[in-house]
Chains A and B, each alone.
Chain A
Amino acid sequence: KGRRNQKGKNRGCVLTEIHLNVTDLDLGYETKEELIFRYCSGSCDAAETTYDKILKNLTRKKKLVTDKVKQACCRPTAFDDDLSFLDDNLVYHILKKHSAKRCGCV
């Protein structure tokens, strides 16, 4: 299972990994190579900053012009190293910023 987020709050937001075929990514590559895909998941309910708290309060009191202001999301704060693979036509490809390395509520 994934690691806990460093700050201690929002313990729901963790890095999780799954072993996949490159074709599972549906990026259009034809290859038999595989990868470890790491992603961030979990809730960011515990408000992290005063900003988040204020937003929550304002939303509750319906004082905001738009309701589209979002709460903090569990997202990658750093990405894994590049991944390279050879496809079935013997062409190399490199994936960048395809997999999470660290997660945080941002």
Chain B
Amino acid sequence: LEKLLSKGNNCLDAAKACNLNDTCKRFRSAYITPCTSSTSNEICNKRKCHKALRLFFDKVPPKHSYGMLFCSCRDVACTERRRQTIVPVCSYEDREKPNCLNLQESCTNAELCVRVQHGPGAPWGPWGPPWDRQSRTLQVSSPHPSQGAGRPGAAPGIRHFPGDGLGCRLTGGPGLAEPVAGQGRAVGGTVMTPNYIDSNSLSVAPWCDCSNSGNDIDECLKFLNFFQDNTCLSEYKIRCLKCVLGCFLEFLYCLKGQAQEGKGLLNLEDNVGTRSKSEILAIRI
């Protein structure tokens, strides 16, 4: 037991490791600065904070950035530290909680995270209809994975998950940094920034709720519950941290550039241990 206690806090260890790595140290400070500097009448400049967070997740080696975001915890000191990783008071919280569907709309308008359906019969994720609607509106198309997408030379910004027939794309929009060819954006650091809800669980959610949803209440709850009640995210807890990590990466990193591919970044098969491949596909966004 003593050994366990002295091993202590994984999140603290991750923070220490980050500050001993020059790249991680630099990009960590680069987002802490805008995320903690108050402006004349705001807590911070949210847009600058989000931009710096995206850079952090884009540039810093995953073992450091994920180490801080997905560290496993045994006590509140640790979970609170983990929750503070993205500086939620600036990047996450807001004066009011918008309706999730409105938030989703502003996300898709501002920084497209589009799920592309490749022909009939391709599986849809839990978000189903909204994504379907968006993809129709936006006329997004991309080559089928079997036609070489995801390899060098494929359309920039689109990454494909082999086997599930789905692609994910993110582009810039008004008021946001220009998209870089071949580089996607992590969802962490967008208006859809998810974070840990509290200190006691691994539940995550974006800053929104489903009040005033009207007829769309089911759709809204489906979306919100994807985060809050995702089996992968909650059920396995610590035992399945690797699985949690894998799933979380999917929505934080579904749009990561191809440069990172093949380095085990999204290699769910490695991350989920005993889960079957069909289960893995089912929990993907």
In the assembled complex, the Cα of A32 lies from the Cα of B11 at a distance in Å of 11
**Contact in complex: A83, B33 (CB < 8 Å):** no
**Contact in complex: A84, B28 (CB < 8 Å):** yes
In the assembled complex, the Cα of A84 lies from the Cα of B9 at a distance in Å of 18
In the assembled complex, the Cα of A35 lies from the Cα of B19 at a distance in Å of 6
Partner of A32, one of B12, B20, B22, B84: B12
**Contact in complex: B25, A34 (CB < 8 Å):** no
Interface positions, chain B 69-90, Cβ under 8 Å from A, are: 80-81, 84, 87
Number of B interface residues in the complex (CB < 8 A): 20
In the assembled complex, the Cα of A94 lies from the Cα of B9 at a distance in Å of 22
User: Does A26 interact with chain B (Cβ within 8 Å)?
Assistant: no
Contacts of B26 in A (CB 8 A): 81-82
B147 to chain A, nearest CB (A): 43
User: Does A25 interact with chain B (Cβ within 8 Å)?
Assistant: no
Q: Mark A75-88, 1 if CB is under 8 A from B, else 0.
A: 00000011111100
Interface positions, chain B 27-52, Cβ under 8 Å from A, are: 28-30, 32-33, 35-36
- Per DSSP, are chain A's interface residues mostly helix, strand or loop, or mixed? strand
A79 to chain B, nearest CB (A): 12
Contacts of A82 in B (CB 8 A): 26, 29-30, 33
A38 to chain B, nearest CB (A): 11
In the assembled complex, the Cα of A33 lies from the Cα of B29 at a distance in Å of 14
**Contact in complex: A81, B16 (CB < 8 Å):** no
User: Does B243 interact with chain A (Cβ within 8 Å)?
Assistant: no
In the assembled complex, the Cα of A92 lies from the Cα of B22 at a distance in Å of 19
**Contact in complex: A92, B36 (CB < 8 Å):** yes
**Contact in complex: A86, B15 (CB < 8 Å):** yes
User: Does A69 interact with chain B (Cβ within 8 Å)?
Assistant: no
In the assembled complex, the Cα of A86 lies from the Cα of B80 at a distance in Å of 11
User: Does A58 interact with chain B (Cβ within 8 Å)?
Assistant: no
Contacts of B30 in A (CB 8 A): 82
B57 to chain A, nearest CB (A): 16
In the assembled complex, the Cα of A82 lies from the Cα of B29 at a distance in Å of 6
Contacts of B84 in A (CB 8 A): 86, 90, 92
Contacts of B25 in A (CB 8 A): 81, 83-84
User: Does A36 interact with chain B (Cβ within 8 Å)?
Assistant: yes
Contacts of A83 in B (CB 8 A): 19, 25, 29
Partner of B19, one of A85, A90, A92: A85
Contacts of B87 in A (CB 8 A): 92
**Contact in complex: A33, B32 (CB < 8 Å):** no
**Contact in complex: B29, A94 (CB < 8 Å):** yes
In the assembled complex, the Cα of A41 lies from the Cα of B124 at a distance in Å of 63
Most buried by A among B19, B26, B33, B80: B19
A-B contact pairs, 30 of them (CB 8 A): A19-B20, A32-B9, A32-B12, A33-B12, A33-B15, A33-B16, A33-B19, A34-B20, A35-B19, A35-B20, A81-B22, A81-B25, A81-B29, A82-B26, A82-B33, A83-B25, A84-B19, A84-B32, A84-B33, A85-B19, A86-B15, A86-B81, A86-B84, A90-B81, A90-B84, A92-B35, A94-B29, A94-B32, A94-B33, A94-B36
Q: Which B residues lie at the A interface, using CB under 8 A?
A: 9, 12, 15-16, 19-20, 22, 25-26, 28-30, 32-33, 35-36, 80-81, 84, 87
